[in-house]
Amino acid sequence: MTRTEKAKPARQSATPPKRGRGRPRKTHDEINDGNRRLALLKSAAKLFRRKSFGATTTRDIAVEVGMHNGSSYYHFKSKKALLLAVMEEGLTRGIRHQIEMLQSFGLGPEAGAAPLPKNVDPRRLLAALIRNHLDILLIKEREFVPVMLFEWRSLTPHERRGIGRLQDEYEAVWMRVLESLHRAGQLVCEVKLARLMLFGALNWTSRWFETSKTEQGGLDLDGVASAASRLILIEKA
Amino acid sequence: MTRTEKAKPARQSATPPKRGRGRPRKTHDEINDGNRRLALLKSAAKLFRRKSFGATTTRDIAVEVGMHNGSSYYHFKSKKALLLAVMEEGLTRGIRHQIEMLQSFGLGPEAGAAPLPKNVDPRRLLAALIRNHLDILLIKEREFVPVMLFEWRSLTPHERRGIGRLQDEYEAVWMRVLESLHRAGQLVCEVKLARLMLFGALNWTSRWFETSKTEQGGLDLDGVASAASRLILIEKA
DNA sequence: CCTACCGATCGGTAGG
DNA sequence: CCTACCGATCGGTAGG
């Protein structure tokens, strides 16, 4: 393990030094791009989530997927890029799940762009959004999404804006629902505050909710979800 | 800046190597214990809060208080010890603030140990607790307390239990109030869930509330506080 | 994606 | 609390 002195290869100036990492064609055995990239993403998410970004080394991540340290840099240009990719993955997955759920209300992907149609009950839609949110946060995407919540401080202002745009996309429908409810006098406070409080209560669950206890069904999630609904609605059932 | 070879002082084996750090008497100019320790604590809190524990170096902290890197180890045995001290400081301060506030309700420091006296209105007390909590979290101890919320993952299970005991101490009165309200049928859900949701909504404010906007008075805090009250209470005013 | 590295930094310590 | 360090690690890179 001693570091031996070695002649460094002279920088060859005839052709510009083109790095091997640039090209997509596989040079070795099995570089299964999509799979390996996703594996890295998942391991990174898992570790960032549990140990935090700062306490996770790129070696930790590589080892988890059975790679050698430097190899992750074939897929991601830096540790920070991995963090961003994890957050983006979580958000786009969340958005996707939400779009699917909205279909059962006859709503398309652009549902957040305009006021709610008259034929949807905002109370029922809110309940569904909340239930779906908990499902994403605590079950389906429990590795990815919390990283965004916990590691917000690890982003630069510019990076935050980027992630923020995706969050806005996710929250657009919520805003419509809350506005509709507020107009009907059914919110305990103004829309903006209601949204912040609601997401506060919901997102905080990722700190105390343990999957293990209610595995295989997520029974208790219904309880949390309905409590959250009643939180911001007037006229309790 | 080149690192020159130097003869290392031979370990003198006659007397056991006693480190200078062990004794409390000042060996040099101005080691103003209490002050310097607190200064370190404050700087650490500020940096841990803004940049996260992992992204803050012991040098960052030392520089902020005008010390040289190694000197912080005179006051704290490790970076981790600094983190723990920050969290403990935040919690004990919070507990202290809360005890003071409770006096105006005729309640002593042990108010959380037994059911609430008949003569206190649980609704008013809850409102006061909430308002006070926001004041601690966002104004008075805004450097210390959020570190505990944000850096929970940086603690070992054992360390978490230690901090957890202080949290329980802080939350004891809250539990009494919530139990009282639940018995009176004024909570939107069961006590345990109400507590989690409420603290979720409240603690989350440290992520979006900016002091700058409402400085000099914290006007808007009242709005947030009253909204939070209405969140978990039935029979909205 | 592996091998074989490197420069910089970082937490921490000895001794005064 | 300062000076003067050190060992280990860490993010990252060149070249194949």
| Residue-wise pLDDT tens digits, A159-185 | 999 999 999 999 999 999 999 999 999
Q: Using an 8 Å Cβ cutoff, are B45 and B147 in contact?
A: yes
Looking at residue B237, what is its pLDDT? Answer: 53
**Measured torsion, CA atoms of residues A105, A111, A114, A115, in degrees rounded to the nearest 10:** 30
Q: Which DSSP letter does residue A109 get?
A: T
Q: Work out the average pLDDT over B93-119.
A: 97
Residues of A in contact with B236 (CB under 8 A): 188, 234
Whole-number Å distance between alpha carbons of A142 and A144: 6
pLDDT of residue B33: 67
Q: Is B187 helix (H, G, I), strand (E, B) or coil?
A: strand
Tens digits of per-residue pLDDT, B67-91? 999 999 999 999 999 999 999 999 9
Question: What are A73-99's pLDDT values in tens digits?
Answer: 999 999 999 999 999 999 999 999 999
Structural tokens at position B167: 């949290």
pLDDT in tens, B101-113: 999 999 999 999 9
- Residues near chain D strand, CB within 7 A: A 9, 11-12, 17, 19-21, 27-28, 56-59, 69-70, 73, 77-80; B 3-4, 6, 8, 20-21, 27-32, 35-37, 40, 66-71, 74-75
Q: Do A200 and B198 touch (CB under 8 A)?
A: no
Q: What is the pLDDT of residues B203-216, one digit of tens each?
A: 999 999 987 665 54
Q: Which of B141, B121, B137 is nearest to B201 (CA)?
A: B137
Largest CA distance in chain A: 78
- Asked if pLDDT for residue A157 goes beyond 80, the answer is yes
Q: Which residues of B fall within a CB distance of 8 Å from A54?
A: 52-55
Q: Do B153 and A150 touch (CB under 8 A)?
A: yes
Mean local confidence (pLDDT), B150-168: 97
Residues of A in contact with B194 (CB under 8 A): 227
pLDDT band at A229 (very low <50, low <70, confident <90, very high): very high
Instruction: Tell me what pLDDT residue B213 has.
Output: 64
**Exposed/middle/buried for residue B16 (C-beta within 10 Å: 0-12, 13-18, 19+):** exposed
B80 close to A54: Cβ distance less than 8 angstroms: no
pLDDT score of B32: 64
Distance between CA atoms of residues A150 and A204, nearest Å:
10
Write the pLDDT tens digit of every residue in A116-144: 999 999 999 999 999 999 999 999 999 99
Q: Tell me what pLDDT residue B212 has.
A: 67
Residue with tokens 């944000």: B150
B52 close to A52: Cβ distance less than 8 angstroms: yes
Q: Which has the higher per-residue pLDDT, B205 or B30?
A: B205
Q: Are B116 and B191 in contact (CB under 8 A)?
A: no
Q: Is the pLDDT of residue B2 over 50?
A: no
**Quick one: pLDDT band at residue B20, thresholds 50, 70, 90?**
very low
CA distances from A46 to A56, A61, A66 (A): 10, 9, 15
Residues A226 and A37: their CA atoms lie apart, in Å, by 37
A39 has a pLDDT exceeding 80: yes
Q: What is the pLDDT of residue B17?
A: 34
Two tokens, residue A83:
């963090």
Match 């293990």 to its residue by tokens: A212
The pLDDT confidence band at residue A50, using thresholds 50, 70 and 90, is: very high
End-to-end CA distance of chain B: 69
Token pair, residue B40, equals 């370190």
Q: Which nucleotides of C are covered by protein (CB under 7 A)?
A: 1-6, 9-16
Neighbour-count burial of B10, counting CB atoms closer than 10 A to its CB (0-12 exposed, 13-18 middle, 19+ buried): exposed
Compute the average pLDDT of residues A10-18.
32
- Which ranges of chain B does DSSP label H, i.e. alpha helix? 33-51, 58-64, 72-75, 79-103, 122-135, 144-150, 157-183, 191-208, 211-214, 219-232
Specify the pLDDT at position A211: 73
Answer whether B53 sits within 8 Å of A53, measured CB to CB. Answer: no
As to burial, measured by CB atoms within 10 angstroms (0-12 exposed, 13-18 middle, 19+ buried), residue A226 is middle
Helices B191-208 and A191-208, packing angle to 10 deg: 110
Residue A34: the pLDDT is 72
Task: Give the C-alpha separation, A203 to A216, whole Å.
Answer: 21
pLDDT score at B35: 87
Tell me what pLDDT residue A176 has: 98
| Contact partners, residue B88, CB within 8 Å, separation at least 6 | B163, B166
**What is the residue-averaged pLDDT of chain A?**
86
